[in-house]
Structure 1
Amino acid sequence: METGDIGGLAAGSLGTMADAARIRPGGWLLASDVEGPLFLGDFIAEALSACLAPAAGGIDAAPSYGQILYAEGYAAFSADTEASRRPEGAGRRETRPEGGYTLAQEGTDTIFALPLLLAAGADYACLERLALGSRETPGAAEMARRLDQMGWQRAGITTAPQQPYRAVAERCGWLSPGRLLGSPFPLREAEALLRRLGRWDVEIAWVRAYLRDAYELIDRESEVWMDGSTRRRHFSDAGRKRLRQRFRRLYREELGISYTHGERAARPASTALGRIVEACAMVGDRAKAALAMTLARRAGGPDRLVTMGDGANDAAMLRRARWSIGVNGPDAARAARIGLITDDMRHALVLLRLIGEQAGGIDAVVGLAREELGGAALVHLGGEGLTPELAERHRQMKRRLRGEFVTY
């Protein structure tokens, strides 16, 4: 396969993405994760849940087939990349933070959904319909409008597919689509390329065989019961182990996908679909941080940047910024300067206003925000000293707002 065949499927450079955001010089900039602080849910998990199920005889239960496939694929990938992880900034593997946030994921696991959705017949229209069903995080729209009045600029940075969320941004009206920066997800282009190369039938057949095996395994290794009006599914530990093995067989052996940059440089994928997956430069941990810092330099400078996120894949972006808010997520709170537990993003506006008014250092801002918010939200100092009690309160709020099957 010629390099040019797949070159057009990768995301543009970070500089090109930053140029498209058209950030103006001067003032404060909020660079925020999209899923969690701005919109609820987990787009890839929701897309797999909507599109993946047996053609006949499937059992509709929670978690769904697609949610299990995504969660167990993520777990298998995480286990396989354990040895290559390193803490952000430290450079020494033995100093991994308690929360486990590292630079290993890099968004790579998100693109693993591409072959599954191709095999299921999903298209851009399907993904856009799912994205347009995303609910705004309570208070996010009002937070955005108030920041506009305060002269702040805003950018959304996400590992999730860029284009469907740009449709959401255009609909909601309070986030410029051009300032929503995310990962490529080339469904149509990938199918066209596979067909042009004569590889569609054989390679998609491998993915469909994996899905059939996975569905059978989930049905065989699950217990299903009614919990009120909800049908629940418990997938056994033995089933999880076998599904992860089957995941590895598809991605590592059949598609020949490598997990690290060094491995890919030495051994490109042996299949067209594998090379497509490898070619998609995902907006992962480091890319999020780099984009935030690049946008900040084009605005008021790094000292006038605030980053915000709720997951482990936001940790690098949160750690690099002088001002950062980890909202409704223990890994994010450990990485950020300030932690916030809230069911209304207007409470984050209090912190942003105090930061913009230069009300003092981190301690002063946290203290003033606590006084102003009272019991409406919980504000605390971030960092690796996060107590188990605070970590659990973050997890509970995240589950309450985003659902119980969010991967990150």
Structure 2
Amino acid sequence: MWDETIHGLTQARALRSLVDGAAASGEGWLLASDVEGPLFLGDFIAEALTARLKPEAGAVDATPSYGQILYGEGYHAFAEDIARQRRPSGRRIGMPPAGGYTLAQEGTDTIFALPMLLAAGVDYAYLAEMALRSAATPGAEGMALGLEKMGWRMAGITTAPQQPYRQVAEQCGWLAPERVLGSPFPLAEAEACLRRHGRWGMEMALAQAYLRDAFALIDGMSEVWMDGATRRRHFSNAGRQLLRQRFRRFYRDELGISYAPGERRGRLAPTALGRIVEASVMVGDRSKAALALSLARRGGGVARLVAMGDGANDAEMLRRAPWSIGVNGPDAARAAGIGLVTDDMRHALVLLKWIEKGVGDVDAVIARVREELDGAALVHRGGAGLTPELEERHRQMKRKLRGEFVTY
């Protein structure tokens, strides 16, 4: 049993197709930026999980929420399972794993939310509504309009679902919707496929049973207390391990999802949901880098590429771009050539102007920007030598702008 609609949807997500549709050709500089963080403050998948994943009765609203815990622990469980299959970023030591390496762990936290949101009755219109609530990062519009005057092109590259953010871009008017490149999230197509093949009730029952067990674990192995006006939840380490085991049973044993290349070769997952999750081509760490480089090659060339991001899943893109800015995120600042801590993205525009002027190396650019900004933002050299003090400044600003719980 396979569904041609889902097959066609996922095949259309090839990186080349995304680049072809971006209409980003032309001479000049390109800013390839993460969307969530540098451009918009929301994380609408995490927000939907928080709002809709909770017990039907007796739910205890606290931070982190049920949905946030499920989101984070599922990702950690999966990351542990495929640790040996990740292609190393440095020099490989020893033999590769049986069956080869996989890129499929990238972006899985997003696609793994799909079965849970379907089970909670979330539809695509709800996700679009959540996305449209995302506020622009302060100064992002001014930065975008300034780049347009300079003749720059700007593309937003995100692991998040592409289509809701294209709607956000269309609404805001300062980011071309076709230049938002992101992941699929086939909620409506998945439901149609399951219903068409008579699998909806059976496979939703698996997802709902997983959620009931997960909620019971969280409630049974947590302490909740008031911290001022905030209700806090501490989920025990023993509870985390049990939840990860339950996650593995749901995704690996019940849905039949595998990301081991040797396992997947010549077989289909036994469930429709499993096949949809496996087939969805996510925009992850390395594909973000590939998209940025491909877009740059179609315009002014890779030498005129600047990458910008605020999270660990932007690190590969930041490392591979000739110029890069890690903004309001310690993992991003460690990967980038330049670190920026700011509550106004127009400060990044100052950086981009000096990069365009070709004043010299990174240190020369930083010196000119510091002089112009005169303390309005923190600008520093990025890289592995980031001090604990700088790391904390990045964390504090990220929490200030995006809230206490940020996935990346």
| Paired position in structure 1 for 2:207 | 207
Is the CA contact (8 Å cut-off) linking 1:103 and 1:316 kept in structure 2? no
Shift of 1:24: 2.9
Could you tell me which residue of structure 1 aligns to residue 98 of structure 2? none
SS in 1 for 2:291: helix
CA distance in 2, matches of 1:241, 1:41: 29
TM-score (norm: length of structure 2)? 0.94
| Partners of 1:266 and 1:334 in 2: CA distance | 40
Structure 2 residue aligned with 1:143: 143
Matches within 5 A, 1:300-315: 300-315=300-315
Q: Hey, what does 2:20 align to over in structure 1?
A: 19
Larger mean CA deviation between 130-139 and 71-80 belongs to 71-80
Q: Distance in 2 between matches of 1:136 and 1:263?
A: 43
The residue number in structure 1 matching 2:79 is 78
Residues 144-170 of structure 1 show CA distances to partners (whole Å, capped at 9, x for unaligned) of 111111111100000000111111111
Offset at residue 93 of structure 1 (A): 5.9
Q: Report how far residue 63 of structure 1 moved.
A: 1.4
Cross-structure match for 2:46: 45
Q: CA offsets, 1:14-71, max 9 Å, x none?
A: 1211111111310111010000100113222111111111112211112111111101
Alpha-carbon offset, residue 104 of structure 1: 7.0
Q: Which moved more, 1:373-382 or 1:121-130?
A: 373-382
**Superposed, which structure 2 residues align to 1:214-363 within 5 Å?**
214-265=214-265, 267-363=267-363
Q: TM-score, normalised by structure 1?
A: 0.94
The residue identity in structure 2 corresponding to 1:241 is: Q
Higher alpha-carbon deviation: 332-341 or 156-165: 332-341
Contact 2:42 2:131 in 1 (8 A): no
For 2:16, give the aligned amino acid.
Answer: G
| 3-state SS, counterpart of residue 9 of structure 2 | coil
Q: CA deviation at 1:330?
A: 1.4
Partners of 1:347 and 1:103 lie apart in 2 by 35
> In terms of mean alpha carbon deviation, does 387-396 or 141-150 score higher?
387-396
Deviation at 1:227, TM superposition (A): 2.1
The aligned counterpart of 1:166 is: 166
- Contact conserved, 1:81 with 1:104, CA < 8 A, in 2? no
Whether 2:119 is the aligned partner of 1:119: answer yes
Q: Secondary structure at the match of 1:126?
A: helix
Letter of the 1:14 counterpart: L
* Aligned residue number for residue 60 of structure 2: 59
State the distance in 1 between where 2:319 and 2:204 align.
Answer: 40
Shift of 1:226: 2.0
Structure-2 change in CA distance of 1:216 and 1:120 (3 Å): same
Report the secondary structure of 1:154's partner residue.
strand
Shift of 1:367: 1.5
- Please report how far the alpha carbon of residue 307 of structure 1 lies from its aligned counterpart in structure 2 after TM superposition: 0.6
Counterpart-to-counterpart distance in 2, 1:382 and 1:147: 23
AA at the equivalent of 1:363: D
8 Å CA contact 2:3, 2:193 repeated in 1: no
Letter in 2 for 1:304: R
Per-residue CA deviation, residues 125-154 of structure 1 (Å, 9 max, x unaligned), is 100111011111111111111111111110
> Please, which runs of 5 or more residues in structure 1 have no aligned partner?
95-101
Identical aligned pairs, as a percentage?
71
Cα distance in 1 for residues equivalent to 2:227 and 2:388: 29
Q: How far apart are 1:206 and its partner, in Å?
A: 0.4
Distance 2:141 2:394 in 1: 22
Deviation of residue 343 (structure 1)?
A: 1.4
Residues 175-184 or 379-388, more deviating: 379-388
- Give a deviation string over 1:268-290, Cα, whole Å, max 9, x none: 32211101000100011111111
Residue equivalent to 1:99: none
Give the count of matched residue pairs. Answer: 400
Per-residue deviation at 1:84?
Answer: 2.4
Q: Are 2:405 and 1:405 equivalent residues in the alignment? A: yes
Q: Aligned with 2:73: secondary structure?
A: helix
Mapped to 2, the partners of 1:267 and 1:124 lie a distance apart of: 30
Letter in 2 for 1:223: E
| SS of equivalent residue, structure 1 residue 212 | helix
Structure 1 residues 343 and 262, CA, compared in 2 at 3 Å: closer, same or farther? farther
Structure 2 equivalent of residue 176 of structure 1: 176
Measured in 2, the distance between the counterparts of 1:308 and 1:265 equals: 36
**Does the 8 Å CA contact 2:104/2:259 hold for their aligned counterparts?**
no
More divergent stretch after superposition (358-367 vs 262-271):
262-271
Q: Using the alignment, how far apart are the partners of 1:119 and 1:387 within structure 2?
A: 44
Q: Partner amino acid for 2:145?
A: R
Offset at 1:103? 6.5
Q: Which residue of structure 2 aligns with residue 98 of structure 1?
A: none
Q: Note if contact 2:75-2:108 (Cα within 8 Å) is conserved in structure 1.
A: no
Letter in structure 2 aligned against 1:370 = R
The letter of the residue matching 1:186 is P
- Is residue 107–residue 159 contact of structure 1 (8 Å, CA) maintained in 2? yes
Deviation at 1:298, TM superposition (A): 1.3
CA contact (8 A) 2:32 2:292 kept: yes
Q: In structure 1, what is the Cα distance between the partners aligned to 2:93 and 2:289?
A: 20
Letter in 1 for 2:207: V
SS in 1 for 2:265: helix
Q: Confirm or deny: 8 A CA contact 1:310 1:332 kept in the other structure.
A: yes
Bigger drift between 29-38 and 43-52 goes to 43-52
